[in-house]
A = this chain, B = another copy of it.
Amino acid sequence: MRRRGNGTIQPWRVLKTQLAFDNRWAKVRQDECELPNGEVVPDYYYWEGGDFAQIFALTPDNEVVLTRQYKHGVKEIVTELPAGLIDSQETPIGAAKRELEEETGYRATEWVPLGQLNVSSAKATTRANAFFAKNARKTAEPTLDSTEEIEVLLVAIDELLDLISRGTVKDAGSVATTLLALKALKMKI
């Protein structure tokens, strides 16, 4: 790795912090920060919370389990890897297993953590916890909330890569988790 710069990047120091917007579904934090150069930023805003688990689940036939559903942030019907919020007092892998089963009805026999991803490092605290679920089989019907309507799709790995290239699968966390899983599998893309 070749580097330009003096290697002295330092974090900001938080002088004051408060939730500027706060309810059960959305929290925006406002920080007053002192930068390493002494400059003070009086009001830096970012989205707080919403950590989730994201699952690359592979069946014994080497098919990847995808979900297709409406998401109201982007207002699109999206095709993504299964994912869901980590409840309080739940571990990331516990959430991953629960969400895979609830959204798709699949259970896997082997779970490999693939690491954490930052969703938006400047504007959110949110982390995606990526997992590789091996030997995933359908064991039940999905159990959805009344606000959820989800289709389950099975695609070969090559087909998933084509869906990503064509922009059909365009959730950054899903695409990033796919790269991590393929790297773990030492697969060609």
Contacts and interface: CB of A to CB of B under 8 A. Distances in A.
Contacts of A161: 183
Interface residues on A, range: 35 or more
Q: Is the interface of A mostly helix, strand, loop or mixed?
A: mixed
Nearest to A4: B152
Within the oligomer, what is the number of copies of this chain?
A: 2
A36 interface: yes
B31 A28 contact: no
Contacts of A180: 164-165, 175
Interface string A52-81: 000000000001000011111111111010
Interface of A: 1-7, 9-12, 20-21, 23, 25-26, 28, 31, 33, 35-37, 39, 41, 43-47, 50, 63, 68-78, 80, 115-128, 146-147, 149-155, 159, 161, 164-165, 167, 170-173, 175-176, 178-180, 182-184, 187-189
6 contacts: A3-B151, A47-B47, A71-B121, A117-B175, A118-B172, A175-B176
